[in-house]
Every structure is written in structure tokens, then in C-alpha cells.
Structure 1
Amino acid sequence: MTAKRLTSLKHKIALAFYIILGMALLNGMIAILLSQQLRSEIEHLVGIDVVKVTTALQLAKNSEKLQIITTRLNHYDTEQQRLALLSELTTQWELLLHDSRTLANLETSHKEHAELNSTIDTQLDSLQQLSLLNDLTDSALQAKLQVENIQANLTGMASGFADEMQIQLQQINSHYAPLIAQKKFDAIRVNIQENQKLSTYLHLGEHLFVLLSQVKNASSIVELNQLQRDAMRLVIKMEEIAISFHQNRSIYLDWLSQIKQNMVGDDNLFQLSRNALKSTQIANAHLSYQADAAQVVATFTQNLVNHVEGEIKLAGGELKNDSTAFVVLIFFSGALYCFFIWLTSWHFIAKGIITPVIATRDAMNAIANEKLDTQMPVTDNLELQQMVSSLETLKTYAAQVKAMSETDGLTGCYNRRYLDVQIQRELIYAQEHHMPLGIVMFDIDNFKQFNDRYGHVLGDQCLKQIVNAAKSILQRPTDILARYGGEEFMLLLPSSHLEDAYKIAERLREKIISLEIPHEDSPHSGIVTISAGITCWQEPQRLDINALINQADEALYHAKLTGRNRTETFLNIPARYS
């Protein structure tokens, strides 16, 4: 029966495996067909629409760069910067043309295609005007350079003019004193007039140079014309004064001639400044046209990006719907597939194999952890039932081993190994629950002499009687009696203060006396007696097992030292013993 059932279970598992495999193949075929369809839609989306939006975004980026360059062309500092900006402007228009033509080739809408062609025409026109803008900018720069040269020349002339006029004033004044001494009043009058005219001439000249220096700061042609008229009036006045001089007339006329060379004629200061302003204004107008064209392209590009994004969203929505249908189908197929797997696993594997195995494992762990009251699992599987039977045998052996490892073979009380483990646990428990732990260590007085006189057989019987007497006075299940070594024993008394432990030790000592075990070598009425040492752990003492045992041992030693057949506490030991 069992063999047949096992064989049938194998057939059922094989059948379930084939069903699951067939469903997996069916799901795989459906997934492949749908994925091929989705792949073709994605390739179309990536191959055309994504290229369009990528190119449109690149076009928008280049349009922004174009606007930045046109703005910077109005605020360049050096000729090298101007040339670099014009070169960048040309490059940006060429990039815009390339991207626009790429979009025109990809665009299928007639309306969008016409708008792209219009934008391309605007870009071509702006690119062709760059050569004119370059020429105008060159003209303005050349005119400004000539104006700067004339200004530098006039600055030198202004310094020389002031020095020369001062020299002339000094010469006139040097003739003044001798004329007064000679009383040549007509000459004195003439000298004074010359001095006044020269001062006026010097003042007009200084004013003229100030006006000429203001030309470089003029921002309009009207302002330049007004400066030129004011300067010419000053020149005319200075000519009138120069002609009226009696002495050194040629010097003054020569200075005026040098100044007028920069004010009249071809390429004079004012004409060059007007040419520079005109060229700059025209160039700025062309720059404004370039900026306007860039703004038009940027606006169109943004609209184009929005349009392409709309197309992609539409295509993406269709793709999303298809993918959602694909996911739903795969989900339901996968759910059905998982249901069959679960059914097979639960019925044939989990219920018949895994659950009994887990129960057997838990029982083995419990036995390994010395929980010998663990119930054995029940199973109808032959192999597992054999394991359970073996586990029952192991449980019996474990109980025997546990008893042997924890119990003293002679007396039947706990041994030292169990005591070492249990005292650690009791101390930790006492600390966690803020409770005391009493310890009584006792041994048989003159036990060596007892063995020597009566022999080890009677000595073993004596030990058993002592243990039975100690067990009889322990009323709580938590109290522990253990053989510490030889004829030494220890009582662990949880939740017991020093006074409680002392009372129990005294009851035990009196109980041993009442047994009246003969011991002729005992000084205490010829019977067996015990000595006991008491200590107690309680907060806030340090949690130290060795120190606690040493305290009990010292108390026991003091009890023996002071006559035996007595109980001593660690607190009562004199300082020389503690």
C-alpha cells in the first residue's frame, strides 16, 4: 500500500510538472508574438518621431545660442572678440540651416513643411547679411581708430600749446619793468594790450581743446555737429586775436593752422566720428535684425517642439495601450500558471513532504536544545516515519545523556557542570528582576577520617544520607542542591536574603545532627556534622560569579576554623579573613 501510494504520488507530480511546462510554453509563445508587435511600434517611434523631437530640441538650443551671440556683439571689447563673435554667429546660422533642412525632410505635414521652408528662407537671408554686417563693423572700427589717433595728437598739441603761450606771456612781462623805468607809456600800453590778448587767446585755446576732447564721448551726430560749431566759433575768435598781435603773430597763426588741420578737410575729427557713429548705428540695426530673426526662429522652434511632442505623446499613448493589454494578458496567464504551481506544491509537496519535514526538523532542534517533552510529528510517509522512529530513539538517548551530564551519579543531586550553568542564569535573573540570591556552601566535618575509619562504601552511604536530608528541607522547586566537589555541596536559593539562607543552613545542620550517623573521630558527640558558609548577592553588588563563590567558600572556611558544626555568614567574617 505504501509503495503504491508513493509511486502514485510520483506520477501525479510528473503530470503536474508536464501541465506547468505546457502552460509555460504557451505563455512564452504569446509573449514572443506580442513583444514582436510592440518592438515594431517602438522602432517606428524611435526611428522617426524621436529623431524629429531630438532635432527640434537641438534647433531650439542653437536658437538660444544665436540670441546670446547677437547680444554679445553689442558689447565686445576688442577686435579679436568681434571677429570671434561674428564667426560664431555664422556657425550658428549654418547649424540652424542644417537642422531645419533635416526636419523639413522628416516632416510629412504640408503645413509644417511650408512653415519650415519659410524659416529656412529667413535663415538664409540672415546668413547672407553677415558679410554686410562684417563690413559695417570694420568701417566703424577703422573710423574709431583714426579718431583715437587724432585725439592723441590733439592731446599732445594741447600740452605744447599751453607751454608755448606761457613762454610768450613771460617774454611780454619781461619787457614790462624796463618800459616803466624809461617812462615809455605808449609802449607800456601796447605791452598791456598784448598781454590781455594773449591771455584771452590762451583761454580760448584751452576751451577749444576741451571741446575737441569731448568728441570721443559724443553719442549722436547732433551732438557732434554742435561740438563742431562751437569749436569753429572759438577758432574764428582766436584767428581774429592772432591777426591783431604786433609781435610773434606768425607763432599764433601757426598754432591755429595746426589745430584747424584736425577740424576741417577730409578725414577730420568730426567727420570721422560721424562716420563711426553712422556705421555703428547701421551695424546695430543689422544686429537687431539678426536678433529678431533669431527670435522668430526660436519661437517657431518652440512651436515645432510642442507639435512633435504632441505626436510622440499620441504614438506613446497607442503604445501604452498595447503594452497594457500585453501586461494584462501576461498577468492573467501568469496568475493561472502560479495557481497551478501553488496547487501542485501545496497538495503534493508542501502537505505531503515539506510540512512533515519541517515538523521533524523542529522536533530535532527542540531535542538538541534539551526540550525532551517535545511531541513527535505524525506522518503517513514511510521515509519520514522511519526518521521519526529514529528521532524517538534519539530522544530517549538525549534524556539519558542529559541526566548523566547534569546529575551526580552517586548522590542523585545536580553536579558541578549543572551548577556552573545554573548559577550564571540565576544571577542574571536576579539582576534583571532586582531580587536577591542566597548561596549556602557546606561540607561534612572530618569526612576524610570517616572514610579512613569506616571505608568508602559507608562514606558513599553517608553522602547519600546527607543529600536526602538536604532535599527534605528544600520546599521550593526553584531551590537547587548540587555537589560542588568531594564532600562539598552548594545550595542556590533564589529570592532569599541572607537571613533566609542562614535559617535554611541551620535547619540543614540540625537535620544532619538528628540523623546521628556514627563518627568516632568527630569531636561533636561522636556523630557526623556539617559546617556551612553563607553569602548573598543583591544590588548594587557587582555581578561576579567567582567573587560570590569565593565569599561563600571563605565563610565556610571560617566556620571550620572556628570549631566546625556551625554556620557562618560572609558579613560576620573578621577583617583578617575577609
Structure 2
Amino acid sequence: MNPKRLTSLKHKITLAFYIILGMALLNGVIAILLSQELRTEIEQLVSTEVVKVTTALQLAKNSERLQIITTELNHYDTEEQRQSLLKELTIQWEHLLKDTKVLYTLETTPNMHQALNSTIDTQLYFQQQLPLLDKLTDSALQAKIQAQNIQTNLTGMSSAFSDEMQMLLDQTHKRYSLLFAQKNLNGITENLSEHQTLSEYLHLGEHLFVLLDEVKNTSSIVALNRLQREAMRLLIQMEDVVPTMRSNNTIYLNWLSQIKQNMVGNDNLFELSRNALKSTQIANAHFSYQANAAREIAQFTQELVNHVEEEIQLAGSNLKSDSTSFVILIFCGGILYCFFIWLTSWHFIAKGIIKPVIATRDAMNAIANEKLDTQMPITDNLELQQMVSSLETLKTYAAQVKAMAETDGLTGCYNRRYLDTQIQKELSYANDHNMPLSLVMFDLDNFKQFNDQYGHVVGDQCLRQIVNAAKSILQRPTDILARYGGEEFMLLLPSSHLEDAYKIAERLRKTIIDLRIPHQNSAHFGIVTISLGVACWQPSQALDVNKLISLADEALYSAKQAGRNRTEVLDKA
């Protein structure tokens, strides 16, 4: 970029900066003036309408709570619960009346004013019904408690009645056994008759107690009357049985008297249960009326909230008309502001200079770090494009130098220099990640005789075939094949245990045999074979590259000594 262009760009940026600053100041002054006027109108709106909405929402909340309380009053068990719920009910009606009166003073619309006045009258009416509810719930609770006391007495009587009647039955059974031993036929007949009568009396009594126990679970007056009729029928049957008993019937009459006390009279079990049900039903009806009233108040409150929202929307429309000019100015200023920022920052600076320079820098760093597959940046700037072209040439040279420095020119696999570097890196990585590292060193058996017989050109072709075969069995990108020297090669197998490395070595050995490269001086089928030595570094061993290579070399030497065409493993962990 020439100096003139730089100067022109600087002037454009400076001019754009002053324009943007002037626009910002102008918009700021206008915004301050209009915001003061808008603030005044908003404060007037908030001082009335927001209070209306808040009070109406509180009124709706209290109405919902009132419905919950009336529901809970249908299921009280103690005097404390009843008093607590009635007290809370009174408080909720007071809150409703207070909030409604506040809305009445704030509302100015005639229709809503009349509706609020009607709501206040409804609230006062139901508030006046609270003493009647107190009386009804108290009567229901007292009748329920008295009925429960009678039920408790009857439960004890039932157990005592069964025990005593059973004892009398046992006595008649013993008397029967005695009369049977004395062979007193008249006594036996009388005793059997008395036993049957006593059994009938016991059966009727137990059935009667079961019916009386069902009273506490009865929630219908019709069902309660039915139970009373059945109980009275059983009681009459028991009274009919007593005169037929031959023995002293004082005990049976006593039981009838105790049972009858709880079944007849003004405060009998059935009468108290009926009173409790009637009082509860009447109280529940009043609770239902109160819940309906609370529901109607909640619906009215929702209408009131909608009305207030309409008023707020109307006031908002007025505010909107007053602030139209302010919005237009801010919008236009924002458009121009964004346009100049885009024009100067993105088009002239970011797109034309900064982005291409950064991309070129990143590409240079990548090439310097030997990342030769890096894409070159594209730019329409002449100077930067010249830099990119030079960088592309440098990338090509770097790729050629890297290939020459790391690749064996004859076989195309990695050379000894690259292998030494990678072994050191992989060993450090294996130690850091607690993983094994295996080496497989191999060379061609009797390769000197092969070269002497077939010539060095064929020998080079043979080496290339061996390398291609070795590459074909390597399945992981991290596995490395390198020419160690002459006809010696090495496989670097990261994260491979000794057993895995041995399997790969054996697969390679069999693959070379399958090539069937002729070798008349070979003692193994007259074809080219290889010998392999396998060594493995474990995390427990010292970090010594030379030691690891030496182990692989010793294993290879053992394979040679053992007759060639074999794989030997040397593990001195």
C-alpha cells in the first residue's frame, strides 16, 4: 500500500469519525429534551394506573385465597382448626373490602364506579354472614364430637358385650357336659334351649353393634335413617328374645338398657349424627355461596385489570405520538451511524487490510511450523497478493525440502533422520500418557547374495516391493515405516503392546513370503524372506531411545542366529 493511499484512508477515517461524533451529539441533545417531556407524562401515568393494576392483582390474589379457605372449612376436625379458618376468612373479606374501596377512589369511569360500588355491597353482605357461619360450624362440630363420644362408648360396649356373652355361652356348654354325664334328659333339653336363645341374643347384639359402628362413616341422612330402622328392628328382636330365657335375665336386660340409651332419646347417636350432617350441609352451602362470591369478584377483578390495560394502552398511544419525532431521529441517526462504521471499518480496513494481513501471517506461521497443507489467503490488494505469491513459492520449496529431509529417495518411506526424531517424540508421549511403545526391526535375509546374483537394480526394486508390502499392513496413521540403513527397516508402533507388535511382525513376514520374490541363494523356499526383531518399551522403564533400539536390534540378531525367516521378541522389562 503506497503512502498516498494510506494518507487518503486516514483522511476518510478522520472525516467519518467527526461525522459520527456530530451525529451522536445531535441525537443526544434531542434525546435529552424529548425524554424530559416523556418522563413527565409517564410519571403521571404511573401514579394512577400502576396503582390500579397493583391493587386489582392483589384483589384477585385475595379472592383466590378466599376460595381456598372456604374449601378447607369443609374438612376441619378440631375447634382450633375451625376458629383459625374462620378468623382467616374474616381477614380475607376485610382485605377484599379494603382493596375494593381503594379502587373505588381511584376509578373515574362511571360504569366501573357503579360496578365497584355493587361489589362493595356484595362483600359487606357476605361479611355479615360470618357470625351465622360461626354458629353453624360450631353446631356441626359439637354434634360431631358428641356422636364420636357415643361411638367410642359403643365400641367399648361391643367388646365387653361379646366377651360377657361368650362367657355365658361357655358356662352353658359346661353345664351341658355335666348334665350329659348325669344323663339328665330334661336338664339337657332345657340347657340346649337356653344355649340357642343365648346364641341368638349374641348374634343379634353383634349385628346391632356393627350397624351402630357404620353410623360414623355415613354421609347421607337417607342412609342414616335406614341404619336407624335396621338397628331398631334388631333391638326389638333382642327385647323379644330376653323373656324366653329360663335363667336370670337381669344381665340381658341390663345390656339392652345400655344399648337403648344410645339409640333413643333427644341426644341419641342417630339424632346427633343427623344434626351434624344437616349443620355441615348448611354450612357447606354457605361456604359455596362465599366461594362463588369470591369467584365473581375474581372475574370482576380480571375485567377491571383489562379495563386498566386499555387505559394504559390509550395513554401509551398518546406517548407514542409524542415520541414519533424522537424515534425517527434516532432511527435515521442509527442508520447513518452504522453505515459509516461499516464503510470505514469493514470495507476499507477490515476487509482490505486487516483480514488479509492476519490471514497471511497465519499462513506464514503454519508453513514455518511445517503445516504444508495450509490454504493461501485470497485478497484483492496488489501488495498483499504479491506477498501471497511469494509465500506460495516458499511453501513449495518448504514442501520439497521437507520431503528430501524426511523421505528415503529409493524406497519412498521415511529415512533414519525422521525416524530418530519421531522415536523420541513418541517415547515422550508414551511416558506422559502411560502407554507402551513398540519397535519392529527387520532386514532382508541374505540380501548381499541377492544383489550379487541379480544386480543392484533388481535389488532396489526388491527393496521397494518390501516397503510397499510393509505399508499395506499398517492400518493406523500413527504407525511409521522407516529405512534404518541398507536393507534394514524399522516399524514404529505407538500405543502397541508387545503381543500386538509381534502379530504385526508375523503378518509382515507372511506378506513378504506371499510376494514370492525369487532368491536362489535363499534357504527358505528359494524366495526372499525377512527376519524380524520386536522390542517394547513399558512405562515402568527408563526413557532411553538407544536402549529400546538396541533391544530391537538384539532381537533381530537372535532371529538371524536362529535360522532367519522368523520373528524374535526381546523383552527385558
Q: Against the structure 1 CA distance between its residues 202 and 418, is the aligned structure 2 distance closer, same or farther, given a 3 Å change threshold?
A: closer
Give the corresponding residue for 1:232. Answer: 236
What CA distance in whole angstroms lies between the structure 2 residues aligned with 1:342 and 1:147?
87
What CA distance in whole angstroms lies between the structure 2 residues aligned with 1:115 and 1:98?
13
Give the corresponding residue for 1:283. Answer: 279
What CA distance in whole angstroms lies between the structure 2 residues aligned with 1:154 and 1:377?
110
Q: Against the structure 1 CA distance between its residues 168 and 269, is the aligned structure 2 distance closer, same or farther, given a 3 Å change threshold?
A: farther
TM-score by length of 2: 0.55
Pairwise CA distance, 1:26: 1.5
**Contact 1:165-1:198 within 8 A present in 2 as well:** no
Q: How many residues were matched structurally? A: 418
What is the DSSP-based 3-state SS (H/G/I as helix, E as strand, rest coil) of the residue aligned with 1:274? helix
Pairwise CA distance, 1:97: 0.8
Give the corresponding residue for 1:155. Answer: 159
What CA distance in whole angstroms lies between the structure 1 residues aligned with 2:96 and 2:214?
44
Pairwise CA distance, 1:302: 3.3
Aligned counterpart in structure 2 of residue 96 of structure 1, from 82, 92, 99: 92
Counting only pairs closer than 5 Å after superposition, residues 126-525 of structure 1 correspond to structure 2 as: 126=130, 128-168=132-172, 170-171=174-175, 174=178, 191=187, 194-195=190-191, 197-213=193-209, 214-218=211-215, 219-239=223-243, 241-242=244-245, 245=246, 249=247, 251-252=248-249, 254-264=250-260, 272-318=268-314, 320-322=316-318, 325=321, 329-341=325-337, 419-421=400-402, 439=409
**Contact 1:204-1:238 within 8 A present in 2 as well:** no
What is the DSSP-based 3-state SS (H/G/I as helix, E as strand, rest coil) of the residue aligned with 1:106? helix
Q: Against the structure 1 CA distance between its residues 225 and 356, is the aligned structure 2 distance closer, same or farther, given a 3 Å change threshold?
A: closer
Pairwise CA distance, 1:281: 1.8
Aligned counterpart in structure 2 of residue 57 of structure 1, from 46, 58, 61: 61
Larger of the two Rg values belongs to structure: 1
Identity of aligned residues (%): 7
What CA distance in whole angstroms lies between the structure 1 residues aligned with 2:146 and 2:359?
104
Give the corresponding residue for 1:82. Answer: 78
Aligned counterpart in structure 2 of residue 34 of structure 1, from 13, 22, 38: 38
**Contact 2:208-2:234 within 8 A present in 1 as well:** no
1:58 is matched by which residue type in structure 2? N
What CA distance in whole angstroms lies between the structure 1 residues aligned with 2:193 and 2:531?
132
Pairwise CA distance, 1:125: 1.0
1:140 is matched by which residue type in structure 2? K
1:153 is matched by which residue type in structure 2? M
Q: Deviations over 1:186-219 (max 9, x none)?
A: xx65x46633552453244224413431323244
Q: Against the structure 1 CA distance between its residues 195 and 328, is the aligned structure 2 distance closer, same or farther, given a 3 Å change threshold?
A: same
1:66 is matched by which residue type in structure 2? I
**Contact 1:52-1:106 within 8 A present in 2 as well:** no
Q: Against the structure 1 CA distance between its residues 30 and 423, is the aligned structure 2 distance closer, same or farther, given a 3 Å change threshold?
A: farther
**Contact 1:93-1:123 within 8 A present in 2 as well:** no
Aligned counterpart in structure 1 of residue 25 of structure 2, from 14, 21, 24: 21
What is the DSSP-based 3-state SS (H/G/I as helix, E as strand, rest coil) of the residue aligned with 1:313? helix
What CA distance in whole angstroms lies between the structure 2 residues aligned with 1:222 and 1:360?
100
2:141 is matched by which residue type in structure 1? T
Give the corresponding residue for 1:479. Answer: none
What CA distance in whole angstroms lies between the structure 1 residues aligned with 2:309 and 2:24?
40
Pairwise CA distance, 1:226: 4.5
**Contact 1:27-1:330 within 8 A present in 2 as well:** yes
Give the corresponding residue for 2:522. Answer: none
What CA distance in whole angstroms lies between the structure 2 residues aligned with 1:60 and 1:104?
15
Q: Against the structure 1 CA distance between its residues 336 and 424, is the aligned structure 2 distance closer, same or farther, given a 3 Å change threshold?
A: farther
Give the aligned CA root-mean-square deviation in angstroms. Answer: 5.5
**Contact 2:70-2:287 within 8 A present in 1 as well:** yes
**Contact 2:204-2:238 within 8 A present in 1 as well:** yes
What CA distance in whole angstroms lies between the structure 1 residues aligned with 2:348 and 2:45?
49
TM-score by length of 1: 0.55
Q: Against the structure 1 CA distance between its residues 5 and 273, is the aligned structure 2 distance closer, same or farther, given a 3 Å change threshold?
A: closer
Give the corresponding residue for 1:433. Answer: none
2:277 is matched by which residue type in structure 1? Q
Q: Deviations over 1:235-274 (max 9, x none)?
A: 24422x34xx4xxx5x33x213312321446886995212
**Contact 1:144-1:276 within 8 A present in 2 as well:** no
Aligned counterpart in structure 2 of residue 46 of structure 1, from 38, 43, 50: 50
